[in-house]
Amino acid sequence: MDKQLKQIFLSASIPLVERNPSYYETADVIAIRDCVSSLAKIILPNFRLVWGGHPSITPLISSVLESIDVNIKEHVHLYQSDYFRPTFPVENESFSESLIITDNIGSCDESLALMREKMIVNNDFIAGIFVGGMEGVEEEFELFTQSNPKAMVLPMASTGAAALGIYENGNFDDSLKDDYAYIALFYRLFKDYL
């Protein structure tokens, strides 16, 4: 395995109106999908992408992988908690060699906390990208910034929802809110690493 691959963390989801309407009201579902797909196209050939297997995001990344030639085992680390096994998306099968399943330790909150610790705290990242999302994206942002203080942090405010709230509470580049040309934007943001 190529241990030289730099890692990029993705925290993303498409908000559900029934879970928390405030996230759904500002979410731009088309922008979320386009942002995640564009990110995967730029990141996967050059880096390792690490994310927590949200069922609205994994199919997007799986679709991108069908069109590019990378070693999935080396370029992808997909984390899932065994707590959610009954609802794993079918696309998880595409990642069988790079799927990391953390223990179900009883409650949803405890199981998620364990998964996030193994996924975020126990890894080194050059960047964290936050797209759309709800409470989980905010929680992962907090954990990421605490455990990876030197990493680039990119709340993609143009996708709305939790990412917009994170952006508004920080000091970030305007392009994260105004630029929807995601492929060009990610090329620019990661040009020093590409």
Each residue of 69-124: pLDDT tens digit?
Answer: 999 999 999 999 999 999 898 999 889 889 999 999 989 999 999 999 999 999 99
The whole-model pTM stands at: 0.95
Q: What angle do CA 58, 148, 176 make, to 5 degrees?
A: 60
Give CA separation, 37 vs 82, 86, 154, 170, in Å. Answer: 26, 26, 16, 25
Measure the CA angle with vertex 169, ends 166 and 172; round to 5°: 80
DSSP assigned state of 90: G
Distance, in Å, from the CA atom of 95 to the CA atom of 112, rounded to the nearest integer, reads: 20
Residue 108 has which token pair? 């949803």
DSSP-based three-state secondary structure for 7: strand
Inter-residue contact 76 to 48 (CB < 8 Å): yes
User: Where would I find the H helices in the chain?
Assistant: 21-26, 29-43, 58-65, 72-75, 108-116, 135-147, 161-168, 175-178, 182-189
Question: What are the extents of the domains in the chain?
Answer: 7-189
Higher-confidence position of 90 and 166: 166
What's the confidence (pLDDT) of residue 2?
A: 44
Q: For 118-162, what is each residue's pLDDT tens digit?
A: 999 999 999 999 999 999 999 999 999 999 999 999 999 999 999
Nearest to 64 by CA among 31, 91, 30: 91
- Evaluate if residue 3 carries a pLDDT over 80: no
- What CATH architecture is 7-189? 3-Layer(aba) Sandwich (3.40)
User: Across residues 153-177, what is the average pLDDT?
Assistant: 98
